[in-house]
Amino acid sequence: MNKFADVAKKSVMNIKPYVPGKPIEEVQREHGIKDVIKLASNENPLGPSKLAVKAMEKKLRSVNLYPESGAYYLRRALAKHLKIRESMLVFGNGSNELLNLIAEAFVEPGDEVMFSALSFVVYPIAADTVGGIAIQIPHKDFRHDIDGFIKRLSHKTKLVYLCNPNNPTGTIITKEEFEKFMSAVGLKTIVALDEAYFEYVQDKNYPDGIKYLAKYPNLVVLRTFSKIYGLAGIRIGYAAADPDIIEIIERVRPPFNANMIAQAAGEAALRDREHLKNTVKTNNEGKKYLCSEFKKLGMEFVRSHANFIFVKFKANSKVVFEALLKKGVIIRPQFDSFARITIGTMEENKKLAKALKAVL
């Protein structure tokens, strides 16, 4: 029992703390093995873009200075890239920070915050932090149940998080479903569309949130440099929305939250189309290979549009997780028998398949 539990905000004591993927170094220490791969946090297995690394190195000698709080160069480059106005962007210490800042800016204690019950674990944390009431909509075949969301909308719904593609299942909300939801939701409800894995999706029924910003002023699209751009460790993400929404988020944004090195990395990574193309190719090949290996092993899995696959074991997933650790493979166990596995390089995927064969 925490001796300050009765001093803390009640809503904060409700929070189930975020459990990150197990770090490689920890497994090396605990199991005494050198050769460890991590397929647990949906990172880019090819590493960061070389252009981004160069840009970061160049900035290292200037870190005695504060960064530009408005991220001038990154903002200009990204606005051009997305074909939106510069005033429609706000940057975060990862998109995770922006998920929190949106709740902080819009949700009063007692307001409802809606999201899928099988989605990114940060949404309930963001809701609880500000005293919002979390409304969790059960999933339908591992997908967002958009009709279920619509049925539950009311004047109390202040914020809705939609995760597309969804973490951890990798499923998508289609254009038709998204448009149906946006037509049903009132302008007094903020819709935060989390597109952390946007660049991986290749389905023509997938809606590009940025293209809807002009039509829906209550829409906030969140994206990140952590996933396909391979910059998870430097922490940079962004939200795009109507300038009036951005102006409100800016009020609660801590000064200098997007650091100088991250701004330079993001700007350079945007230019590295080759790195992006290689990553998509590696991911597509890896996904095909892993799905076929999972089938051979008799494992069930959900068809993924992202860089990870949601699988079901016939055994307890924690037991499988522990056994895989001993073989130098880190995955992310979920609930009783599920796990989320990040698609790696072909070499990593083969190591995983071999370890799974031995363990299962």
Ligand X SMILES: Cc1ncc(COP(=O)(O)O)c(C=O)c1O
Query: Where on the chain is the footprint of ligand X (CB under 6 A)?
Result: 42, 94-96, 120, 163, 167, 194, 196, 224, 226, 232, 237
Q: How far is the CB of 236 from ligand X (least distance, A)?
A: 7
> Shortest gap between Cβ of 221 and ligand X (angstroms)?
12
Q: Which two tokens stand for residue 15?
A: 């929070």
- CA distance linking residue 58 with residue 49, whole number of Å: 15
| Least gap, CB of 357 to ligand X (angstroms) | 28
User: Measured from the CB atom, is 249 or 359 closer to ligand X?
Assistant: 249
Minimum gap (Å) between residue 72 Cβ and ligand X = 21
Handedness of CA 75, 77, 79, 81 (dihedral sign): negative
Q: Are 81 and 266 in contact (CB under 8 A)?
A: no
Provide the edge-to-edge strand list for the sheet that holds 133-137: 89-92, 237-241, 219-224, 190-194, 157-163, 112-116, 133-137
Q: Which is nearer to ligand X, 222 or 359 (CB)?
A: 222
Of the CA atoms within 13 Å of residue 71, those in its CB half-sphere come to 32
Q: How far is the CB of 204 from ligand X (least distance, A)?
A: 22
**CB-based burial, 178-206: b 16+ in 10 Å, e otherwise:** bbbbbeebeeebbbbbbbbbbbbbeeeeb
Closest to ligand X by CB, 334 vs 359, is 334
How many C-alpha atoms does 37 have within 13 Å on its Cβ side?
A: 23
Amino acid at 116: S
- When the beta carbons of 95 and 116 are compared against ligand X, the nearer one is 95
Nearer to ligand X, 275 or 327 (CB): 275
Q: By C-beta, is 95 or 279 nearer to ligand X?
A: 95
In terms of Cα–Cα distance, which of 152, 188, 199 is closest to 306? 199
> What tokens were used for 266?
């993001």
- Contact assessment for residue 330 and residue 39, using Cβ atoms and an 8 Å cutoff: yes
Distance between CA 271 and CA 205 in Å, rounded? Answer: 27
Q: How far is the CB of 197 from ligand X (least distance, A)?
A: 7
50, 228, 265, 312 from 333: Cα distances, Å: 32, 22, 31, 10
In whole angstroms, the minimum distance from the beta carbon of 34 to ligand X comes to: 27
What distance in Å separates the CA atoms of residue 58 and residue 245, rounded to the nearest whole number? 34
Parallel, antiparallel, or unpaired for β 157-163 and 112-116?
parallel
Residue 113's Cα: distance from chain center in Å?
A: 18
Is the CB of 8 or the CB of 121 nearer to ligand X?
121
Task: Name the residue nearer to ligand X (CB basis): 24 or 232.
Answer: 232
Least distance (Å) from ligand X to the CB of residue 320? 21
Cα 241-245-246 angle, rounded to 5 deg? 70
310 versus 353: smaller Cβ distance to ligand X:
310
Q: Which is closer to ligand X, CB of 88 or CB of 101?
A: 101
Task: Tell me which residue has its CB nearest to ligand X.
Answer: 94
| Shortest spacing between CB 159 and ligand X, in angstroms | 15
| Shortest distance, position 122 Cβ to ligand X, whole Å | 7
Distance CA 202, CA 208 (A): 11
